[in-house]
Amino acid sequence: MTNISPDELKELLTNPTEIVVIDVRESWERENNYIQNSVHIPLGELETSLPNLEKEKLIVTYCAHGIRSQTACEILLQHGFKNVKSLQGGFAAYQAL
């Protein structure tokens, strides 16, 4: 599994058709703020949502600080997704840009 820096993600989001950003935080965490165009799939619901995800796109997962997003990447890799990255430092690091 690979991490992606907040700066790298911000650059990739200039062409959002090539990337899927998944917010694995809980609903109450997302209420305050989130990365624009991200898809909300709480970590506990990720496995049941796998059929809705496109395996050929880059998938970046994020949570509050980068721990749950790493778990999400592991789940995706176990289910045949190849191009997955976790946002280093989570939403807190992205928001600090």
For residue 91, being part of any structural domain is answered with: no
For residue 85, being part of any structural domain is answered with: no
Determine how many CB atoms are found less than 10 A away from the CB of residue 30. Answer: 16
For residue 89, being part of any structural domain is answered with: no
Q: Which two tokens stand for residue 59?
A: 């998938």
Domain range enclosing 47: 2-79
Confidence label for 1 from pLDDT (cuts 50, 70 and 90): confident
Comparing CA positions, the residue from 95, 96, 93 lying closest to residue 4 is 93
State pTM to two decimals.
Answer: 0.96
Which uninterrupted H or E stretch holds 61?
strand 58-62
Q: Is 73 a catalytic residue?
A: no
Catalytic one of 9, 21, 60, 63: 63
For residue 12, being part of any structural domain is answered with: yes
Q: What is the pLDDT of residue 11?
A: 96
| Model confidence pLDDT, tens digit, residues 7-18 | 999 999 998 888
| Model confidence pLDDT, tens digit, residues 42-95 | 999 999 999 999 999 999 999 999 999 999 999 999 999 999 999 999 999 999
For residue 92, being part of any structural domain is answered with: no
Would you say 1 and 74 are in contact if contact means Cβ atoms under 8 Å apart?
A: yes
